[in-house]
């Protein structure tokens, strides 16, 4: 697959985890990193907003403070600035050397949170993405749990970065619906994985999907 900005071919594999707050995706992303590293792959586990030193600084600006600290438009610019740095410094170099990137949230989160749920700005999100990011994951694992359940899980771990965690049930449902629509929009890339059940049961689903993706990618291509 071609990377529009570097002009080169990507040898590596770019996997993202997406889902509502409290969907368990961060735990699953960590477990997949451990599993694939054990199998001998070169794996970088990273996250958004953040993932590079500069982007982590921007993360602090975005997530701390009052809900109305930034307008929705400014927020999109901050997420996109953080993403650009992360792509330049971590994601693209890892893919260029043939590694596997596992990223906890990426552009789909902006499409859902800023594009439909927290603001109605999907065209702006898409234009900025096209202009400044220009790369999509090869595969996205969409961790799906009932939105009311994810709200409960999220509320149990409110900490310093509480700006985005204090969502109400309606917003959580809008986020859930937004992610489900992405599954229809990008059916080849976005794979819904049920997040219901014990952590190890969910990981069995994640592992089976990852194994099938990697074996399809490693299979010799016909001449
Ligand atoms: P994070 O701390 O990673 O929360 P979680 O553990 O639930 O993934 O993400 C912080 C919040 O930022 C989360 O509520 C989702 C939100 N977010 C956006 O609104 N837009 C974005 O583009 C990204 C990457 C995250």
List pLDDT tens digits, range 101-122. 999 999 999 999 999 998 999 9
| pLDDT-derived band at 166, boundaries 50, 70, 90 | low
Does residue 7 carry a pLDDT above 60? no
- Residue 215 CA to ligand 1 centre (angstroms): 31
pLDDT of residue 167: 66
Beta bridge partners of 16: 103, 140
Asked if residues 110 and 168 have their Cβ atoms less than 8 Å apart, the reply is no
pLDDT of residue 156: 67
pLDDT of residue 148: 83
pLDDT of residue 217: 86
The residue among 216 and 108 whose pLDDT is bigger is: 108
Mean pLDDT over all residues of the chain? 90
pLDDT of residue 153: 73
Burial of 13 (0-12, 13-18, 19+ CB in 10 A): buried
The minimum-distance atom of ligand 1 relative to the CA of 49 is 24
pLDDT of residue 10: 42
pTM for this structure? 0.91
* Residue burial 170-204, b: 16+ Cβ < 10 Å; e: rest: ebbbbbbebbeebbeebeebbbbbebeeeeeebbe
Asked if residues 160 and 60 have their Cβ atoms less than 8 Å apart, the reply is no
- Measured in degrees and rounded to the nearest 5, phi and psi for residue 2 equal -95, 140
Cβ–ligand 1 distance for 6 under 6 Å, the answer: no
Pocket test for ligand 1, best of 113, 121, 126, 172 (most atoms within 8 A of CB): 113
What sign for the dihedral angle of Cα 199, 104, 159, 56?
positive
Nearest to 196 by CA among 141, 150, 131: 150
Residues 6 or more apart whose Cβ sits within 8 Å of residue 43 = 33, 36, 37, 99, 100, 101, 102
The minimum-distance atom of ligand 1 relative to the CA of 161 is 2
Cβ–ligand 1 distance for 21 under 6 Å, the answer: yes
Q: Between 3.40.50.300, 3.40.50.2000, 3.30.1360.150, 2.40.128.20, what CATH number should domain 2-218 receive?
A: 3.40.50.300
- Residue 115 CA to ligand 1 centre (angstroms): 13
SS3 130: helix
Cβ count within 10 A of residue 210? 21
Does residue 163 carry a pLDDT above 60? no
For residues 18-22, give the mean pLDDT.
Answer: 93
How far apart, in whole angstroms, are the C-alpha atoms of residue 216 and residue 178? 29
Does residue 169 carry a pLDDT above 50? yes
For residues 128-150, give the mean pLDDT.
Answer: 94
């Amino acid at each position: 697959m071609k990377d529009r900005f570097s002009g080169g071919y990507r040898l590596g594999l770019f996997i993202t985890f997406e889902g509502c707050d409290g969907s368990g995706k961060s735990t699953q992303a960590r477990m997949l990193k451990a599993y694939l590293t054990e199998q001998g792959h070169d794996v970088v586990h990273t996250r958004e907003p953040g993932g590079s030193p500069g982007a982590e600084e921007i993360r602090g600006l975005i997530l701390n403070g009052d809900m109305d600290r930034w307008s929705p438009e400014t927020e999109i610019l901050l997420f996109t600035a953080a993403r650009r740095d992360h792509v330049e410094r971590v994601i693209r170099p890892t893919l260029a050397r043939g590694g596997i990137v596992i990223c906890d949230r990426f552009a789909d989160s902006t499409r859902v949170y800023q594009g439909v749920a927290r603001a109605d700005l999907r065209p702006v999100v898409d234009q900025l993405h096209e202009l400044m990011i220009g790369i999509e994951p090869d595969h996205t694992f969409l961790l799906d749990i009932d939105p009311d359940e994810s709200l409960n899980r999220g509320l149990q771990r409110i900490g310093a970065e509480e700006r985005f965690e204090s969502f109400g049930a309606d917003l959580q449902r809008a986020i859930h619906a937004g992610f489900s629509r992405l599954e229809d929009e990008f059916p080849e890339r976005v794979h819904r994985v049920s997040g219901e059940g014990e952590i190890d049961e969910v990981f069995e689903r994640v592992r089976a999907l990852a194994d099938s993706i990697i074996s399809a990618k490693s299979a010799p291509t016909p001449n």
